[in-house]
Amino acid sequence: MLSKLQLLSVFFGDDVIFKIYLRSQVIHKLFETNPELDINKLDLFHLQFTQSLIDLLRKIKKNNETNVSLIFDEIQINREMMDRLNDPFYTEANFNLEKQRQALKINLSLRKLFQVLSDDLTDNPLSKNINAFSSRFAADFFHTITPELLEEITDYKDNDVYTDEYATIQRKLMGVLCKYDFKTEFYCGLKSGTQVVEVYKFTDVDRYFIYAPSDSLFVFLDVTKIANIDFSTNLSKKERLIHELKDKNDRLEGNAAAMKSFMPPGIKNLLADNYKKISDISFLDNISNIDVQANVLKSMLNTDLI
């Protein structure tokens, strides 16, 4: 019986439980070395006190293990969610790769648009699937702007643009594109409701323009109009969620370690009180009344403190 109590004291790592175990050993040894003592009192002590304490600690241990199991279940669910969210199709690395490809598509489309307009052709100058990029990445990587700002940056005057069946482009923008040999790069994506625009920057000069997929529109952008947007991170919503889940799992793992050996404060106070009683020098004189303490321990088995 004492070996079971020793194992429980090691499991909980609680000083009071270990002291109770040591004190119980002393009491047990006392009866072994003093045959004149009534051995029935030792049996009563173990039956009423030691066994009741073991039963109580086992119940707390079982409850703790159940709670730890629930924590690890949540950790596993979070891990499975992270695995699903880690689909490379939507990662930041994939976005960075695809925005380079999209810039090449835009540059090629604008070069072809110049040829179509110059030679009065009827060909579609826009690259195949040119709008697939924004459809794929807008939800996670494009920055939200107000409808008013979207309307402002896509506004133009009819006499300032070239228009054909497939696209509309600002005259001055086409001139600058020709001057810099259609060399641009993707800068950022903007969205408002279901509407999206892609922002491009000239690689050789600090000037910007937008492409609005819904209207196949190309117009200059005054970049100061979007200066309040935070470009410090390009993490998608999914990647931010992955980071949050990872942080949560780290916290849960720490909680599980503490939960494993958790002892309710009310129980700790009771054990400390019991240790004082069995450590009292007159304890042996009152050992026949140990059932009082045992009843208190047994009552803890059905208490809300656990």
User: What is the pLDDT confidence band of residue 194, given thresholds at 50, 70 and 90?
Assistant: very high
- Whether 44 shows a pLDDT value over 80: the answer reads no
* Averaged pLDDT, 17-38: 83
Q: Kindly report the pTM of this predicted structure.
A: 0.56
User: What is the pLDDT confidence band of residue 76, given thresholds at 50, 70 and 90?
Assistant: very high
Helix (H) or strand (E) holding 163: strand 161-163
pLDDT of residue 186: 97
User: What is the pLDDT confidence band of residue 221, given thresholds at 50, 70 and 90?
Assistant: very high
Find out whether 207 and 220 touch, Cβ atoms under 8 Å. yes
pLDDT of residue 2: 81
Distance separating alpha carbons of residues 298 and 292, to the nearest angstrom: 10
* Averaged pLDDT, 233-258: 83
Distance separating alpha carbons of residues 38 and 20, to the nearest angstrom: 22
- Whether 305 shows a pLDDT value over 80: the answer reads no
Least confident of 50-54, 92-96, 195-199, 281-285: 281-285
Find out whether 150 and 192 touch, Cβ atoms under 8 Å. yes
Q: How large is the angle between the packed helices 15-33 and 2-12, nearest 10 degrees?
A: 160
List, in sequence order, the alpha helices (H) in the chain: 2-12, 15-33, 39-45, 51-85, 92-119, 132-141, 147-153, 171-179, 237-260, 265-279, 290-300
What are the contacts of 301-306 at 24+ separation with CB within 8 A?
A: 301/55, 301/56, 301/59, 303/266, 305/264, 305/266, 305/267, 306/59, 306/60, 306/63, 306/264, 306/267
SS3 state of residue 190: strand
User: What is the pLDDT confidence band of residue 290, given thresholds at 50, 70 and 90?
Assistant: low
Expressed in angstroms, the distance from the first to the final Cα of the chain is 23
Q: What is the overall mean pLDDT for the chain? A: 86
User: What is the pLDDT confidence band of residue 90, given thresholds at 50, 70 and 90?
Assistant: low
- What dihedral do alpha carbons 42, 47, 53, 57 form, nearest 10°? 130
Specify the higher pLDDT residue, 234 or 158: 158
**Per-domain residue ranges for the chain?**
2-83+246-300, 92-235
* Averaged pLDDT, 125-129: 94
Find out whether 20 and 263 touch, Cβ atoms under 8 Å. no
Burial status of residue 36 (CB atoms within 10 A of its CB: 0-12, 13-18, 19 or more): exposed
